[in-house]
Chain A
Amino acid sequence: MNIVVCVKQVPDTATERKLRSDDKTLDRDAADGVVNELDEYAVEEALRLKEAHGGEVTVLTMGPGRATETIRKALAMGADKAVHLSDDALHGSDALATSYAMAQTLKKIGFDLVILGSESTDARTGVLAAMLAERLGTPQLTLANKVDVDGTAIAIQRVTDYGFDKVEATLPAVVSVVEKINDPRYPSFKGIMAAKKKKVETLGIADAEIAAELVGLAGAWSEVAEFAAAPPRAAGTIVKDEGDGGTKTADFLASKKFI
């Protein structure tokens, strides 16, 4: 089975994240880049499927040069090879443009199964899996906490508010995963060393037959009109217990709709 895992480099959520004042895109230099956490679950699931059914796991990322760090991590975990879609023309692509560029690349490299995390910790649109499936003309099986493959049949458990749905389809397909699906492995030291020797193919937009006018800031369908820094945290509320502390706390939580 030819599995492609889409991974994304995102700014570390533990650091302060900023947008650039000039074009209102992410300021990638302001924070350390890490693998989007949900994508690590996607890599793990891809590796488990490969271990169970054989085949090959290819990592696909779209991002600037430094996104190779993210590719290395996925390769160190055990993926076989990687494709890095990198082109200045892609800078500022929104979700629609990104899905177009990724879909073009996926058509070029071929796949039986595409796996990705259900959302990224930076933009958090959570729409890429659906958009990719639509563009590729394959079934979409999203928000999976369990994936079973049997020949060309694929079934997932889709997490819902009320439990889960069982969704079945035939490969090729696009699957997005949630964090409950598995426990991602750590790379081993040998894996880190071996990753250096694995093939990373870098593609520009021409290589993937991506039309320049459909991607980047100019090709984006959505626009960041304005942004402002998050307001500083307001002072907390101190509840003084005068025999009714429990009630006051419960009222406070209820007012914030926590309970």
Chain B
Amino acid sequence: MTVDRMLPSDEARELMGLVGELTAKEVAPRAAGEESAGRFPREVFRTLGAAGLLGLPYPQEYGGAAQPQEVYLQVVEELAGAWLAVGLGVSVHTLSCFPVAAYGTPEQREELLPGMLGGDLLGAYCLSEPQSGSDAAALSTRAAEDSGGFLVDGVKAWITHGGVADFYTLMARTADDGARGVSCLHVPAGAAGLSAGVPERKMGMRSSPTAQVRFDGVRLPPEALVGERGEGFRIAMAALDGGRLGIAACAVGVAQAAFDVAVGYAGERRQFGSRIADFQGMSFMLADMATQIAAARALYLDAARMRDAGLPYGTKAAMAKLFATDMCMRVTTDAVQVLGGYGYVEDFPVERYMREAKVLQIVEGTNQIQRLVIGRAVTKPDPA
């Protein structure tokens, strides 16, 4: 992938150089085989962790790299283009660290963050439940008072890294008060009573386990609470704003990867005596793909730069997630079309990209929920 990027510092350029080397040597060559076998590449995450890529946007004093979102997200984009399960895995891990980093007490940060950001541990984020997806505030997993601490019972669903994560960032109900009754808890994977179900059999991203996570009388100390009691829903929504940018970056990466294959193929494939890229019908298709990718990248980076500047960015993050993932679905579908029959077989990666694109329109808030968020922001409340 040769994308011209405007990066804010020499440091960021060096980082992208390192990411380029890692994706070329450690990530991309293994993607097709592991996806096909459905094997989780834990060692790839260890390699990325050792290189310092599992805590990029967090403060250096806790083991992060203090990189702006603008830079962190372009790293996610590059990783996702090489292998979505890895790029999205880094995004989910980074999201799982957010509550402790942003809402934890100084003691919690001191105690937990160095491990979470250090590269050895992998996180998972537990918000959705079998009956509570888009309507997240309806979640029913309960964290009851238990001699000063918590006793957790319930089932979380669609958990990326479920069963392979080292810690779970959990949203659970501490009171029957709708969104106001939700609290955020930090749960180590070894907690007694925590177990993961059989991984879902997915359409794509088969190397990244997605599973239910069951909390069966899990006892947690009072220090497990992150933020205030009842602040969980607000934390979850703030985390998701950031997570949406991660998904937008993943979508741009996958679309770019599909485009690169398509444009390469169109430049080699000859029919009727010329390269198919020289047929205007084909070149216009490629032009539209390139334009859409560039627009999606510009949109997520604009939202990221607003976040870096401390400005509200939630609506723009929703727009970026919506636009980038719908774009990714179209571009990957068109990439299959460019390759014709070759696009439909597993010998070329574009059918995988097309299967991967679909999940991005669903996770971190479906694109219908993104439209809801954007719609609410752009319309004034009915005065009647």
Contact = CB atoms under 8 A, between A and B. Distances in A.
Interface of A: 185-190, 192-193
Contacts of A188: 50-52
B18 A192 contact: yes
B65 interface: yes
B52 A190 contact: yes
A192 B50 CA distance: 13
What 4 pairs between A and B have smallest CB-CB spacing? A189-B52, A188-B52, A188-B51, A192-B14
Contacts of B22: 186
B308 to A, nearest CB: 18
B332 to A, nearest CB: 29
B47 A186 contact: yes
B11 interface: yes
Interface in B5-35: 11, 14-15, 18, 21-22, 26
Contacts of B14: 189, 192-193
B127 interface: no
A189 B56 CA distance: 9
A189 B50 contact: no
Contact of A190 (B21, B26, B47, B65): B65
A164 B170 CA distance: 56
Contacts of B26: 186
A186 B11 contact: no
B93 to A, nearest CB: 16
B255 interface: no
A193 B11 CA distance: 7
16 contacts: A185-B50, A186-B21, A186-B26, A186-B47, A186-B51, A187-B51, A188-B50, A188-B51, A188-B52, A189-B14, A189-B15, A189-B18, A189-B56, A189-B65, A190-B65, A192-B14
Interface string B37-77: 00000000001001111001000000001000000000000
A41 to B, nearest CB: 15
Interface in B274-310: none
A187 B21 CA distance: 10
B24 to A, nearest CB: 11
A192 B19 CA distance: 12
B13 to A, nearest CB: 10
